[in-house]
Amino acid sequence: MNIKNNIAELINFNAENLQNLIIESISQDKGDYCLPCFSLAKEMHLSPVEIAKNIVSSIKPNNLIEKCEVVGGYVNFFLNKAELSKQILTHFNAESLKSSEGNGKVVCIDYGSPNLAKYLHIGHLKTIVIGESLARLFSQFGYTVKRLNYIGDYGTPFGKMIGGMFKYGSLKEVKAKGNEALQSYYVRFNKEEETNQELSQYARDIFKKIELKDPEIYPIYQQIIEIGLKEAKKMFNTLGVKFDDYRGEMFYNQFVPRTIKMLESKHLLTESEGAKIVDLTPYNLTPSVMLKNDGTSLYTTRDIGAAIERHKEYNFNKMIYVTDVAQTLNFKQLFKICELLGLGFAKDMEHIAYGRFSLPDGKISSRRGKQAVLADLMEFCQNKAQEIIKDRKFELEKPQDVAKKVARAVMNYSVLKVEIVKDCVFDIEKSFSFDGETAPYMQYTYTRLESIIRKFNLLTNKKCTADYSCFNADAFEVVKYINDFYLTMQTSLTKRDPSIIAKRVMDMCKAFNKFYTSCKVLDGNPNTTQAKINLVKALKTTLQVGFNILCIDTLKEM
């Protein structure tokens, strides 16, 4: 139910976008909603106070409005809480939060993008969690979502890794120790390279052999990619993310010659210091290099080929890239070049840029010789969660599963609670608190809903006629949040920002806990209890949807 729209329809004069002028009141004594009449004065040639009085005189108490009053140039609307609660909760179910707007449409989302020559680190957490949250949000609106992970499996770093293996270890050790051995070789090679420049050429030579599919080097490279991808998938799985497509740079490199021919046919390529570029200065963008002076391609060259192949395979209606803000220029260049090539899908390409994500210095030390490796961060968070819940008794859940879900929620919510374009620091100590704006606080609120419903089911299996006259202002605040959640999701989708949902889910949890302390749910009266149980069940359904979009697990007990 769109309450603002319904209020606007009751006002018996036409005013453009009237419902957009109606806002929530700042306090309960000033009603539930209010209409500032100041912007209407010029259009109606009346003072704001006169307009407000005319509105109030035209509205009689009804199923929507209990009363309205004039305060200066404002109209304060007091809603008929019992009747509205009955209407909203009687018709509410899980389908109320779904949409068919995306039916038949495909959205591809490119996120994750690990460099398989390195460990996943805290910087990857934002692309993984934001990308997955958006994927779930699009799915909620009926879109078919394809999760694409453009893996970094190409370039000189793999020459360094293999060169390091030859110098410091063996393939036998790699097979025994996997990624741990490979990373140790890579780190050591980079350190020695600082004082021995010959190693740089040595790595380039090995990578050239990879490109040429050398019978000795290429099989080793394939094994390394397999090991690195297995490690990355393990972490994605830990974070609750699964991709449809793991093709990356090596796969799309084969389409570079085709891209160059397309650019040449459109007369878009020019030469600059031996390199081939697309001059984008007429479009207020810097030139984009397509081939370096040694003939090798760059990210954008391969990205053009990837976009073409993805459109062929998925016939997407939207192609979204989730990366940090530092890549904004690259994607502007990519989209403009695709447009200049006459690719019709260029208009459907979109870049979602996010700010940096970091830890306070010294908070996590890594056994792997580098701070903020994602595996270490997850391990630290799980140990922290286990420590917090060690004295709690669990009958429905396994303690280790609870710890894992709490840890995952803490990490994911730490990303999504902040507007995506902003930089943020992950304060681990505060994030594990059961008080304040934290993931455990929200999970604990959900377990409270579960507990209330279990107790109610033990008391009776008879459904009574719900009496909503018992609802106080705190109860109705929860009802409003439930009613507005679909619109919240719509706004979040439009703005491509899950933090809007994160804030609203937190608001709902706070509102429910306030209601819970001011109003006994299982009050002994079958009819009023039924009304409050209907509210609890509707909120549970709403939080399930919200938690899912925020990549937060629900718990039955905590």
Residue at which a domain ends, from 173, 203, 228: 228
How large is the average pLDDT for residues 441-464? 91
Asked if residue 448 is part of any domain, the answer here is: no
How large is the average pLDDT for residues 31-55? 93
Provide the token pair at 63: 């199923």
How large is the average pLDDT for residues 122-142? 95
List, for residues 195-226, the tens digit of each pLDDT value: 999 999 999 999 999 989 999 999 999 999 99
How large is the average pLDDT for residues 445-459? 95
Contact 328, 335 (CB under 8 A): no
Q: What domain range includes position 189?
A: 156-228
Residue at which a domain ends, from 179, 198, 228: 228
Burial class (CB in 10 A: 0-12, 13-18, 19+), 468: buried
The full 3-state SS of 213-250, as one line of letters, equals CCCCHHHHHHHHHHHHHHHHHHHHHHCCCCCCECCCHH
List, for residues 414-428, the tens digit of each pLDDT value: 999 999 999 988 888
How large is the average pLDDT for residues 259-272? 96
Q: pLDDT at residue 15 above 70?
A: no
Residue linked to tokens 């954008």:
300
Q: Which amino acid is at 21?
A: L
pLDDT score at 16: 62
Asked if residue 258 is part of any domain, the answer here is: no
CATH number reported for the structural domain that contains residue 27 in this entry: 3.30.1360.70
List, for residues 454-470, the tens digit of each pLDDT value: 999 998 767 789 999 99
List, for residues 296-352, the tens digit of each pLDDT value: 888 999 999 999 999 999 999 999 999 999 999 999 999 999 999 999 999 999 999
Give the confidence band of 367 by pLDDT, cuts at 50, 70, 90.
Answer: very low
Tell me which of 294 and 410 has the higher pLDDT. 410
pTM for the full predicted model: 0.92
Provide the token pair at 368: 């792997």
Asked if residue 147 is part of any domain, the answer here is: no
pLDDT score at 28: 82
Asked if residue 553 is part of any domain, the answer here is: no
How large is the average pLDDT for residues 528-537? 96
Give the confidence band of 368 by pLDDT, cuts at 50, 70, 90.
Answer: very low
Tell me which of 442 and 123 has the higher pLDDT. 442
pLDDT score at 428: 82
Contact 275, 295 (CB under 8 A): no
pLDDT score at 376: 87
pLDDT score at 365: 44
pLDDT score at 82: 94
How large is the average pLDDT for residues 139-162? 95
List, for residues 224-259, the tens digit of each pLDDT value: 999 999 999 999 999 999 999 999 999 999 999 999
pLDDT score at 303: 96
Rounded mean pLDDT of the chain?
92
How large is the average pLDDT for residues 15-36? 87
Residue at which a domain ends, from 228, 259, 279: 228
CA distance 531 to 521: 9
Asked if residue 233 is part of any domain, the answer here is: no
How large is the average pLDDT for residues 159-168? 95
Report the helix count and the strand count for the chain, using DSSP H and E: 22, 13
Burial class (CB in 10 A: 0-12, 13-18, 19+), 37: buried
Asked if residue 146 is part of any domain, the answer here is: no
CA distance 538 to 396: 22
Q: pLDDT at residue 14 above 70?
A: no
List, for residues 268-296, the tens digit of each pLDDT value: 999 999 999 999 999 999 999 999 888 88
Asked if residue 251 is part of any domain, the answer here is: no
Domains in the chain, number: 2
pLDDT score at 148: 98
How large is the average pLDDT for residues 472-500? 96
Asked if residue 223 is part of any domain, the answer here is: yes
Give the confidence band of 361 by pLDDT, cuts at 50, 70, 90.
Answer: low
Share of the chain above pLDDT 90, in %: 78
pLDDT score at 453: 96
CA distance 404 to 409: 9
The full 3-state SS of 162-201, as one line of letters, equals HHHHHHHCCHHHHHHHCHHHHHHHHHHHHHHHCCCCHHHH
Q: pLDDT at residue 366 above 80?
A: no
Minimal CA–CA distance to 548: which of 92, 108, 98, 109?
98
